[in-house]
């Protein structure tokens, strides 16, 4: 007999399910989710020729923790992507120079994704890294400010020129005038349009290269093995004997539901437990907020972005099949990117605007599958019992999977 407490109620039930007998279909799905399968996924990015450059990684690491990359000198990338919180911030929506509209997703394993942000409005990791730097609610700076920071800091300039070659001379205030605050203010746009075209290209090149070194650092934030992965590995090595001390009976029953009755692997599959696609799952908007149209707007923004893979600053304009052929029809209305479930216990709150505070709320939502506010909810009611929801939650808590890198990369460089 097993006791489960859920939503203030206590349930008693008798388990008659054999937890160590997997069907061939179940076991095939489980094996495909194991962390070692990451080695078979394409993590390359031909639009960023320095993504594997060790010097670029070091410079990106320094910039990631440098609060000078903001208009007030107080906000770094790490402010909203805290290594102690699996590179999230624990808030509904991020708070930096202002309040963001969206929840900060984890960066662990992000380099394996073809799209970035909840709505997929960026098509590369380096291009994504640029957007917060100029967002009025995040770093609230501008590309000239950042280019001049690299140029004026002796260490940064030396590292930059080792990676990319000689920097343009940005000291002439007539050619490269000072901008204050976010890039897209009317005042800054007037300053920007008054600059010569070659000078604007020079600043944009430095700015895009800042994104590329930040991406070189973020690429190494790959997840290591969780207790779930140890379970699979141990099971493979001793198939005639159930693995010991890796998953509890509750967690194993949750895994059985995950790959079976709960149909979680329809969207949360592969070693990162995401299909990297976009789905409308009927999430309600935060109180007093209009429904977010999600992907349908995001793909249009990606195609207009001057830093997308088709743009001048991309290192490979031919690697753009996803951008060219992504759908923009109404099927994407209210759809958001499927997040990885690695470290899901550590990354609350959940949803594109932090609408769900706990895993319990998330599971209850999918069990009920309410009508979507806009578009069509792709999810169907699961009809799971309360104790089954508790088992699923137990399994999800076994997916903590910290980055498999030296700890020196998880904090500011010395």
* Fold topology of 2-44+226-399: Cytochrome Bc1 Complex; Chain D, domain 2 (1.10.760)
Confirm whether 2-44+226-399 and 54-222 share one CATH topology. Answer: yes
CB 379 within 8 A of CB 13: no
Which range, of 9-18, 156-165, 305-314, averages the lowest pLDDT? 9-18
Taken in order 133, 136, 142, 146, the sign of the CA dihedral is negative
Helix, strand, or coil (residue 4): strand
Where does the pLDDT of residue 15 fall: very low under 50, low under 70, confident under 90, or very high at 90 and above? Answer: very low
pLDDT at 10: 53
pTM of the model: 0.93
CATH number of this structure's domain 54-222: 1.10.760.10
Distances (CA, A) of 251 to 32, 269, 370: 18, 17, 27
> Of 204 and 242, which is predicted with more confidence?
204
Residue pair 88/105 in contact (Cβ under 8 Å)? The answer is yes
| pLDDT-derived band at 280, boundaries 50, 70, 90 | very high
% pLDDT > 70, the chain: 94
Predicted local confidence at residue 8, as pLDDT: 52
pLDDT classification of 44: cutoffs 50, 70, 90:
confident
Per-residue pLDDT of 101-154, as tens digits, reads 999 999 999 999 999 999 999 999 999 999 999 999 999 999 999 999 999 999
Of the candidates 108, 98, 155, the one whose C-alpha atom is nearest the C-alpha of residue 132 is: 98
Six-digit token pair at 5? 């407490």
Q: Where are the chain's structural domains?
A: 2-44+226-399, 54-222
For residue 16, pLDDT beyond 50: no
Can you give the length of the chain in residues? Answer: 414
Q: DSSP letters of 309-337?
A: TTSTT-S-TT--HHHHH---SGGGTTBEE
**pLDDT over 90 (residue 19):** no
DSSP 360-407: HHHHHHHHH-PPPSSS----------HHHHHHHHHHHGGG---B-S-G
Mean pLDDT over each residue of the chain, to the nearest integer: 92
């Amino acid at each position: 007999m097993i006791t489960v407490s859920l939503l203030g109620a206590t349930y008693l039930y008798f388990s008659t399910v054999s937890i160590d007998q997997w069907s061939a279909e179940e076991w095939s799905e489980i094996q495909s989710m194991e962390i070692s399968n990451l080695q078979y996924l394409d993590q390359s990015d031909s639009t960023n020729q320095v993504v594997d450059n060790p010097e670029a990684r070091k410079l990106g690491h320094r910039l990631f923790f440098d609060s000078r990359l903001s208009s007030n000198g107080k906000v770094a990338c790490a402010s909203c992507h805290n290594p102690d919180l699996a590179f999230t911030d624990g808030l509904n929506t991020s708070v930096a120079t202002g309040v963001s509209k969206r929840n900060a997703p984890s960066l662990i394993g992000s380099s394996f994704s073809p799209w970035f942000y909840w709505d997929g409005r960026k098509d590369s990791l380096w291009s994504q890294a640029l957007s917060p730097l100029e967002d009025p609610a995040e770093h609230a700076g501008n590309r000239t400010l950042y280019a001049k920071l690299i140029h004026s800091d002796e260490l940064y300039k030396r590292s930059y020129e080792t990676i990319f070659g000689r920097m343009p001379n940005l000291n002439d205030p007539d050619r490269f005038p000072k901008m204050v605050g976010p890039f897209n203010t009317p005042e800054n746009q007037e300053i920007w349009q008054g600059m010569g075209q070659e000078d604007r290209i020079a600043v944009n090149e430095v700015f895009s290269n800042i994104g590329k070194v930040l991406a070189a650092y973020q690429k190494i934030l790959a997840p290591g093995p969780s207790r779930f992965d140890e379970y699979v590995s141990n099971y493979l090595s001793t198939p005639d004997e159930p693995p010991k001390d890796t998953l509890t009976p509750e967690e194993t029953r949750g895994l059985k539901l995950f790959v079976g009755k709960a149909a979680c692997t329809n969207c949360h599959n592969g070693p990162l437990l995401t299909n990297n696609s976009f789905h409308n799952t009927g999430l309600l908007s935060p109180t007093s907020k209009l429904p977010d149209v999600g992907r349908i707007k995001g793909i249009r923004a990606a195609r207009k972005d001057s830093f997308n893979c088709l743009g001048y600053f991309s290192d490979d304009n031919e690697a753009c099949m996803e951008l060219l052929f992504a759908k923009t029809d109404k099927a994407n209305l209210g759809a958001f990117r499927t997040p990885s479930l690695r470290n899901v216990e550590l990354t609350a709150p959940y949803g594109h605007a932090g609408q769900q505070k706990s895993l319990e709320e998330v599971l209850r939502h999918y069990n009920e599958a309410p009508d979507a506010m806009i578009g069509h909810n792709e999810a169907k009611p699961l009809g799971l019992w309360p104790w089954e929801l508790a088992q699923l939650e137990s399994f999800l808590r076994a997916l903590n999977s910290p980055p498999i890198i030296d700890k020196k990369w998880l904090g500011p460089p010395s």
